[in-house]
């Protein structure tokens, strides 16, 4: 069993963080492209580009999530240390839910864009679930790094001072 995430897995994690930010940057353009015809104004070509970037970045997030799951299966990693088994269970649940959301978001996005528009509200709902999961994820990271100082971030390639 590996003690830390591989360089490839670390890269895919941080690339997903960057792509998530791209999604937050590009999504307002989707609303603008959809609303423009209703207001009788031409669609801004830059908004159309952002709309396409949203779809491509979403596709990459899906690909990266599947790749990471395959890497995890192929090269299992020891879980980090926790002060209580309850935290270990919570961490596992949040990671499973994060991967599920990262897979379902691009699927519902693709469905909404090309097949059934009723997938739109599900996509939006999933974004809210992702926000909630990310808040828990980040609180978990802060607990490890600030309270327990157990070097958790080093497992994702970030070496911080004052860790045990
Ligand atoms: C993990 C990947 C993705 C994330 C994090 C994401 C994020 C978001 C966010 C934050 C919104 C705005 C929700 C709101 O109105 O408050 C949105 C809307 C939308 N996204 Fe994505 N998205 C992802 C993947 C995709 C993909 C792959 C596609 C299409 C191929 C797509 C198409 C759309 C569409 C069409 C909307 C408008 C939905 C509506 O208003 O009904 N998304 N997305
Ligand atoms: C600055 C923001 C972030 C930090 C500092 C961070 C940090 C970490 C760390 C340290 C781990 C490893 C936990 C362990 O050792 O078990 C991890 C795992 C993970 N992170 Fe993040 N993360 C951030 C943002 C994100 C975002 C935005 C997403 C998704 C969009 C995400 C998805 C995941 C997933 C799915 C795992 C589980 C990896 C696995 O066990 O296969 N993270 N994160």
CA-nearest residue, atom 11 of ligand 2: 156
What is the distance in A from the centroid of ligand 1 to the CA of 123?
Answer: 6
Q: Residue 155: CB within 6 Å of ligand 2?
A: yes
pLDDT digits 0-9 by tens, 128-137: 999 999 999 9
Which atom, in ligand 1's list, is nearest to the CA of 120? 41
Q: Residue 51: CB within 6 Å of ligand 1?
A: no
Out of 33, 57, 78, a domain closes at 78
* Same domain membership, residue 33 and residue 54: yes
Tokens 């603008």 identify what position?
A: 32
CA-nearest residue, atom 16 of ligand 1: 124
* Same domain membership, residue 116 and residue 49: no
* Same domain membership, residue 125 and residue 64: no
Q: What's the pTM?
A: 0.94
* Same domain membership, residue 24 and residue 5: yes
What pLDDT is stored for residue 54 in this prediction? 98
Out of 29, 50, 78, a domain closes at 78
Give the domain range for residue 147: 81-164
Out of 28, 44, 78, a domain closes at 78
* Same domain membership, residue 1 and residue 74: yes
What pLDDT is stored for residue 3 in this prediction? 87
pLDDT digits 0-9 by tens, 85-112: 999 999 999 999 999 999 999 999 999 9
* Same domain membership, residue 92 and residue 41: no
Instruction: Place 1 in a pLDDT band, splitting at 50, 70 and 90.
Output: confident
| Count: domains in the chain | 2
Close Cβ partners of 106 (under 8 Å, ≥ 6 residues apart): 58, 59, 61, 62
Q: Which ligand is nearest to the CA of 60?
A: 1
* Same domain membership, residue 85 and residue 74: no
* Same domain membership, residue 47 and residue 108: no
Residue 41 phi, psi (nearest 5): -110, 150
Give the chain as a 3 state SS string.
Answer: CECCCCHHHHHHHHHHHHHHHHHHHHHHHHHHHHHHHHHCCCCCHHHHHHHHHHHHHHHHHHHHHHHHHHHHHHCCECCCCCCCHHHHHHHHHHHHHHHHHHHHHHHHHHHHHHHCCCHHHHHHHHHHHHHHHHHHHHHHHHHHHHHHCCCHHHHHCCCCCCCC
Which atom, in ligand 2's list, is nearest to the CA of 153? 10
Q: Which ligand is nearest to the CA of 63?
A: 1
Ligand 1 pocket test: pick from 30, 100, 128 the residue with the most ligand atoms within 8 Å of its Cβ: 30
* Same domain membership, residue 95 and residue 149: yes
* Same domain membership, residue 158 and residue 99: yes
* Same domain membership, residue 92 and residue 150: yes
Predicted confidence (pLDDT) at residue 74 exceeds the cutoff of 90: yes
* Same domain membership, residue 163 and residue 143: yes
What is the distance in A from the centroid of ligand 2 to the CA of 137?
Answer: 7
């Amino acid at each position: 069993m590996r003690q830390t995430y591989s360089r490839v897995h670390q890269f895919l994690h941080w690339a997903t963080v960057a792509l998530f930010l791209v999604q937050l940057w590009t999504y307002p353009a989707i609303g603008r492209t959809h609303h423009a015809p209703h207001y009788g104004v031409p669609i801004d070509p830059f908004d159309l580009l952002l709309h396409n970037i949203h779809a491509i970045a979403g596709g990459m997030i899906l690909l990266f999530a599947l790749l990471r799951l395959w890497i995890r299966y192929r090269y299992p990693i020891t879980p980090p240390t926790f002060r209580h088994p309850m935290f270990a269970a919570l961490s596992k649940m949040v990671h499973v839910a994060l991967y599920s959301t990262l897979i379902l978001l691009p699927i519902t996005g693709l469905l909404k864009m090309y097949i059934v528009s009723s997938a739109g509200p599900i996509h939006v709902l999933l974004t809210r679930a992702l926000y909630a999961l990310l808040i828990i994820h980040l609180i978990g990271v802060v607990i490890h790094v600030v309270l327990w100082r157990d070097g958790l971030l080093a497992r994702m390639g970030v070496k911080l001072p004052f860790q045990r």
